[in-house]
Amino acid sequence: MRTTPKPELGRILLVDDEPAICRALQIAFKRAGFESVSAETGENALSLLRAKRFDCLVLDLLIPDLRGDVLFELAASQQPHLRHQTLFISGDASPKALELIDACKCPFLVKPFDLSELIDQVKRLLPRAADASA
């Protein structure tokens, strides 16, 4: 008996300069029913944003070539729905980092985080994903 594959819940752009984190999160997103694409630089992320529509942005605050809050603003200017469908991730929970993320009005997870918490946060950002998993 064949099982029906889980429908894709949305396309996620994952931006993190750590390749191991990108690989682990892509596996977690795929298992949860999402399509995900990763970028390890801000420039690569901007190229992907110009080429494809993404339903959610998961974004590290500290990317060497382009700070995450700046990339967030550029992403939201290209795909306005991302202003409300972005999740920041970072190992930096300093007051300055929190101030930058608060200015974007987006949820935030501190690394290391639980993968199920990340998936739940993304589902909350995507109404159709939350409806499909109910």
Domain residue spans in the chain? 11-133
Q: What are the tokens at 26? A: 């892509």
Q: Comparing C-alpha atoms, which of 9, 131, 130, 14 is closest to residue 71?
A: 14
More reliable by pLDDT, 6 or 50: 50
Mean pLDDT on 89-105 = 90
Q: What local confidence, expressed as pLDDT, does residue 128 receive?
A: 60
Asked if residue 122 has pLDDT above 50, the reply is: yes
Report the pLDDT value the prediction gives residue 34, as an integer from 0 to 100. 96
Is it true that domain 11-133 has CATH number 3.40.50.2300?
Answer: yes
Q: Is the pLDDT of residue 78 over 90?
A: yes
Task: Supply the pLDDT for residue 134.
Answer: 44
Closest CA to 121 of 40, 44, 34: 34
The percent of residues above 90 in pLDDT, for the chain, comes to: 75
Question: Residue 83's pLDDT band (boundaries 50, 70, 90)?
Answer: very high
Report the pLDDT averaged over residues 130-134.
45
- Ramachandran sector of residue 99 (left: φ over 0; alpha: ψ -120 to 50; beta: rest): alpha
Give CA–CA dist 40/95, Å, rounded: 25
